[in-house]
Structures are given as structure tokens and as C-alpha cells.
């Protein structure tokens, strides 16, 4: 009988030990799960804060550069601002396309456009064009036929100037006009345009005709 009690007691103790081990395992498992959830939450919080502060920093830097592209700004100031704006466009990851799209406002794009037209240095004009070409055409009203028509007329006038920098300005204005989603429809008033390569050719022919008329009038 005593032996039976001893066996039962031994089995009972073993059961208690196993139960205690199971409880410890559950506690450890639960603790690990809780710790994992805390780590996940912290990671998500860090990601959110990083995006928030990164977005604010980029936006403030963007506004600072745009505000320094005023007409009287020095060459170095304009060059530095345009370089930073161009880097911002290049460095924003593709997964933040929506943020990049919302970064620019219509009046800010107009500042870049005026910089391209008025700046007397080709390097600055080139960077201004690169920025404009990376932005939605609608922000520069390139989906508006009257605006694109006036853009091309301005390009014709600049191309008729004897100043080399004006010819460069005209070239960039034509390149901007090519960014218009309705440029084919506009050129159809003059020629039959079927592909993108033909647009450049038709613009050259159109410019040639305009300049020929101007020269004949001067003579």
C-alpha cells in the first residue's frame, strides 16, 4: 500500500513539475508574443515618424529653394537652388510617387518656368527644364491649347533674336511644348503628325517657315 502511495505521490509530483514547465513555457511564449507585438508597434511608429519628419523636411527645403529663385537672385543662388530641387526629384523613391506629385504647386512650377525663360545662363536653364519635365504637365497648363500656342509664339520670337542666349531659350520652350499631351493636336493645324519623332521635325519645319517669313519682311 505504501509502495502504491509512493508511486502515486511520485507521479503526482512529476505531473506538478510538468504542469509548472508548461505554465512557464506558456508564460515565456506569451511574453515573447507580447514583446514581438511591442517591437512591431515600435517599428511602425518609427516608420510613421520617419515619413512624417522626412516629408516635412523635404517640403520645407523645397519651399526654401523655390522662394530663393526670385529674378534678382545671383547665379550661384539660383544654381544651388535648382540643383537641390533636381536632387529632391531624383532621390524621392518611386513608392512615394503620390508625395512627389503633391510636392509641387502650380505657382511653384511657374517660378521654375520664369527662371528658365529669364535666366541668362544655359546651365540653369537646363536644370529648370529637367525639373519641369519631371512634373505633371497640367501644373504648367500644358493641357491648355491657348497656353501652348502662346508658348510656341514666344519660342518663335526668341528664335528670331540675334542674342545666342535667346536662341537657347527658344529651344527649351519648344522642348517644353513637346511635353504637352495635346501637342499633336496643335501641330495638326499645320502638319499631319503621326509619331513623337515627327513632332520634333514638324517643329523644326514650322520654325524654319516662321523665320523665313520674318527674314523676307526684314528685307
Quote the cell numbers at residue 65: 529653394
* Predicted pLDDT of residue 188: 74
- pLDDT mean over 9-26: 54
Report pTM: 0.71
What mean pLDDT value characterizes the chain?
78
Residues of the chain above pLDDT 90, percent:
38
Q: 95, 183, 168: which is closest to 137 by C-alpha?
A: 183
Q: What does the alpha-carbon distance between residue 46 and residue 81 come to, in Å, rounded to a whole number?
A: 30
* Predicted pLDDT of residue 2: 44
- pLDDT mean over 204-214: 70
| 181, 142 Cβ separation under 8 angstroms | yes
- pLDDT mean over 186-196: 64
- pLDDT mean over 6-31: 53
Domains of the chain, by residue range, sit at: 53-139, 141-219
Most confidently predicted of 137-146, 182-191, 196-205: 137-146
Quote the cell numbers at residue 22: 508548461
Q: What does the alpha-carbon distance between residue 61 and residue 49 come to, in Å, rounded to a whole number?
A: 18
> Taking 60 as the threshold, does the pLDDT of residue 34 lie above it?
no
pLDDT category at 80 given cuts 50, 70, 90 is: very high
The H-or-E segment that residue 184 falls in is helix 183-187
Quote the cell numbers at residue 181: 499631351
pLDDT category at 93 given cuts 50, 70, 90 is: confident
> Taking 50 as the threshold, does the pLDDT of residue 158 lie above it?
yes
| 139, 172 Cβ separation under 8 angstroms | no
* Predicted pLDDT of residue 209: 73
Any idea which of 37-41, 110-114, 129-133 has the lowest mean pLDDT?
Answer: 37-41
Listed in sequence order, the residues at least 6 apart from 110 whose beta carbon sits closer than 8 Å to its beta carbon are 140
Most confidently predicted of 23-37, 54-68, 95-109, 199-213: 54-68
Amino acid at each position: 500500500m505504501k509502495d502504491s502511495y509512493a508511486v502515486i505521490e511520485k507521479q503526482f509530483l512529476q505531473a506538478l513539475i510538468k504542469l509548472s514547465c508548461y505554465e512557464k513555457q506558456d508564460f515565456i511564449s506569451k511574453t515573447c508574443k507580447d514583446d514581438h507585438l511591442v517591437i512591431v508597434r515600435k517599428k511602425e511608429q518609427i516608420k510613421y515618424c520617419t515619413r512624417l519628419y522626412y516629408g516635412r523636411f523635404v517640403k520645407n527645403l523645397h519651399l526654401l529653394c523655390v522662394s530663393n529663385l526670385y529674378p534678382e537672385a545671383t547665379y550661384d543662388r539660383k544654381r544651388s537652388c535648382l540643383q537641390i530641387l533636381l536632387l529632391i526629384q531624383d532621390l524621392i523613391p518611386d513608392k512615394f510617387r503620390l508625395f512627389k506629385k503633391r510636392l509641387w504647386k502650380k505657382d511653384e512650377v511657374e517660378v521654375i518656368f520664369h527662371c528658365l525663360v529669364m535666366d541668362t545662363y544655359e546651365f540653369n536653364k537646363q536644370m529648370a527644364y529637367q525639373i519641369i519635365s519631371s512634373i505633371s504637365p497640367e501644373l504648367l497648363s500644358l493641357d491648355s491649347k491657348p497656353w501652348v500656342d502662346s508658348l510656341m509664339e514666344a519660342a518663335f520670337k526668341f528664335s528670331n533674336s540675334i542674342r545666342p542666349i535667346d536662341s537657347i531659350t527658344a529651344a527649351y520652350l519648344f522642348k517644353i511644348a513637346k511635353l504637352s499631351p495635346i501637342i499633336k493636336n496643335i501641330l495638326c493645324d499645320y502638319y499631319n503628325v503621326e509619331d513623337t519623332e515627327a513632332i520634333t521635325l514638324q517643329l523644326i519645319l514650322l520654325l524654319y517657315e516662321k523665320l523665313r517669313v520674318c527674314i523676307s519682311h526684314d528685307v
